[in-house]
Amino acid sequence: VLRVLRLEIFDELKVMVHGMIGGLRTLMWSVVLIMLPVYALCLVFRETLGTQVGHGAGYFNTVPRSFFTVFRCVVIGDCADDAGRPIFVMITDHYGWVWGVIYGVMSVFMTFGLFNVIMAIFVDNVVET
Q: Is the pLDDT of residue 40 over 80?
A: yes
Is the separation of the CB atoms in 86 and 80 below 8 Å? yes
Q: Evaluate the CA torsion angle 114, 119, 122, 125 in order and state its sign.
A: negative
pTM: 0.71
pLDDT score recorded for residue 39: 94
Q: What is the pLDDT of residues 99-124, one digit of tens each?
A: 888 888 888 888 888 888 888 887 78
Question: What is the DSSP-derived secondary structure letter of residue 110?
Answer: I
Amino acid at 78: D
- Displacement of CA 86 from its chain's centroid (Å): 18
Give me the percent of the chain exceeding a pLDDT of 70: 98
